[in-house]
């Protein structure tokens, strides 16, 4: 059995974006939204909305680059939990809508990242996905989680992994 580019990307992005959306529901029930939207882990880090935006960008851009298509433009204008949840939903809809056959071609595709300063990286598709796209995505997912947690939202590991659902193995005792 082989694992495809689709298997290692789309479900991972979708599960985490759905989890992130649910964290906002929990956060809204526990803390003032306007305070949480300003939250950041350190003065030189971007605040909560930016972490959601960058997680979204990481997911949609990774899938688009690997499939050889354009990612939808999503300006970073979200200023409420409702707007961040909508951004998650639009990102999920995009990545789920990409043809798995197009993504499969990403295994042979070269991906070039260029930064505004003119520097960048050149990767094979699999190296891009596993060495850059997934770690970058999880950096922003984890940072969003940590901002909410540090602000006192009662998130725990089950929230981070809620896509697993309840345990599938029950003790006999």
pTM (predicted TM-score):
0.94
pLDDT tens for 56-94 read: 999 999 999 999 999 999 999 999 999 999 999 999 999
- From the list 155, 140, 159, 160, the residue with the least C-alpha distance to 48 is 140
Residues 103-119 have pLDDT tens digits of: 999 999 999 999 999 99
- d(C-alpha 60, C-alpha 32), whole Å: 29
Domains and CATH numbers, the chain: 5-164 (1.20.120.450)
């Amino acid at each position: 059995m082989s694992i495809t580019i689709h298997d290692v990307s789309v479900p991972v992005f979708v599960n985490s974006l759905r989890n992130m959306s649910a964290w906002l529901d929990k956060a809204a029930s526990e803390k003032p939204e306007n305070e949480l939207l300003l939250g950041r882990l350190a003065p030189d880090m971007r605040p909560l909305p930016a972490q959601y935006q960058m997680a979204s960008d990481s997911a949609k851009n990774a899938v688009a680059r690997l499939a050889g298509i354009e990612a939808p433009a999503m300006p970073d204008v979200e200023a409420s939990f409702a707007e961040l949840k909508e951004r998650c939903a639009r990102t999920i809809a995009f990545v789920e809508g990409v043809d798995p056959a197009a993504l499969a071609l990403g295994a042979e595709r070269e991906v070039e990242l260029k930064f505004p300063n003119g520097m960048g990286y050149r990767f094979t598709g699999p190296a891009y996905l596993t060495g850059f796209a997934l770690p970058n995505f999880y950096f922003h997912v984890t940072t969003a989680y940590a901002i909410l947690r540090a602000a006192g939202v009662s998130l725990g590991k089950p929230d981070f992994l809620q896509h697993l659902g309840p345990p599938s193995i029950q003790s006999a005792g």
